């Protein structure tokens, strides 16, 4: 299996900065904004975006995590990972704009599960979606509001996001998956 690097550290940093500005512009500032990352890499990206927005807006932005493992409708088909803790900022999500953040958007099933999980937690004013990579192949009518990079890919390929906090380097690669 050969990996082809499609985004490097500088590309990821640029994409996250652009996403941060777009979130602020869309929300008309940082008021009532909550970022929720989807484990594992979405949480790291949410923390990075929260830091960027905080620096741009000059006010602290709340970031948390939203584990959707037990809300998935495809648990029988795919091996699950151990659920991670969900951490909702102390001020909650009611009446706020929640931005879900994930590393790769593929079928849309993870985001559908996230919407179900949010419904059990509270009632936000609006829910938006930010993703570092949109690879296409949607199975559900879900579209990101903020995208770092559109990477059309074959279903025989796998998009791998590597982040320095977990993997020692920031990069995105495409691997051909052999059957």
Q: What DSSP assignment string belongs to 85-139?
A: PPB--TT-STTSEEEEEEEEESSSHHHHHHHHHHHHH---SEEEEEEEEE----S
User: What is the rounded CA–CA span in Å between residue 80 and residue 40?
Assistant: 13
Distance of CA 53 to the CA centre of its chain: 15
pLDDT at position 24 is 98
**Nearest 5 degrees, angle CA 108-CA 110-CA 113?**
110
- Asked, for residue 80, whether it belongs to a domain, the answer is no
- Asked, for residue 79, whether it belongs to a domain, the answer is no
Range of the domain at 21: 3-74+85-176
User: What is the rounded CA–CA span in Å between residue 63 and residue 83?
Assistant: 19
Q: How many CA atoms lie within 13 A of 66 on its CB side?
A: 31
- Asked, for residue 24, whether it belongs to a domain, the answer is yes
Task: CATH number of the domain at 147, please.
Answer: 3.40.50.2020
End-to-end Cα separation, the chain, in angstroms: 11
- Asked, for residue 8, whether it belongs to a domain, the answer is yes
- Asked, for residue 33, whether it belongs to a domain, the answer is yes
- Asked, for residue 141, whether it belongs to a domain, the answer is yes
Overall domain count for the chain: 1
- Asked, for residue 147, whether it belongs to a domain, the answer is yes
pLDDT in single tens digits along all 179 residues of the chain: 578 999 999 999 999 999 999 999 999 999 999 999 999 999 999 999 999 999 999 999 989 999 998 887 776 676 666 778 899 999 999 999 999 999 999 999 999 999 999 999 999 999 999 999 999 999 999 999 999 999 999 989 999 999 999 999 999 999 988 76
Q: What residues are paired with 98 via a beta bridge?
A: 34, 127
């Amino acid at each position: 299996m050969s990996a082809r690097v499609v985004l490097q550290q500088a590309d990821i940093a640029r994409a996250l900065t652009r996403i941060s500005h777009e979130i602020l512009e869309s929300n008309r500032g940082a008021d009532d904004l909550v970022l929720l990352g989807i484990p594992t890499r979405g949480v790291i990206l949410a923390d990075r975006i929260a830091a960027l927005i905080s620096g741009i807006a000059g006010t602290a932005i709340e970031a948390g995590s939203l584990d959707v493992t037990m809300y998935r409708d495809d648990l029988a088909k795919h091996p699950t990972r151990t659920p991670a803790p969900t951490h909702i900022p102390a001020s909650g999500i009611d009446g706020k704009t929640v931005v879900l953040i994930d590393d790769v958007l593929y079928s849309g099933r993870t985001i559908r599960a996230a919407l179900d999980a949010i419904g059990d937690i509270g009632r936000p004013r609006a829910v938006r979606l930010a993703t570092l990579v949109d690879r296409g192949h949607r199975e559900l009518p879900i579209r990101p509001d903020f995208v770092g990079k559109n990477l059309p890919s074959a279903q025989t390929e796998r998009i791998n996001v590597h982040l320095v906090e977990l993997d020692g380097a920031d990069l995105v690669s495409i691997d051909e998956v052999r059957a």
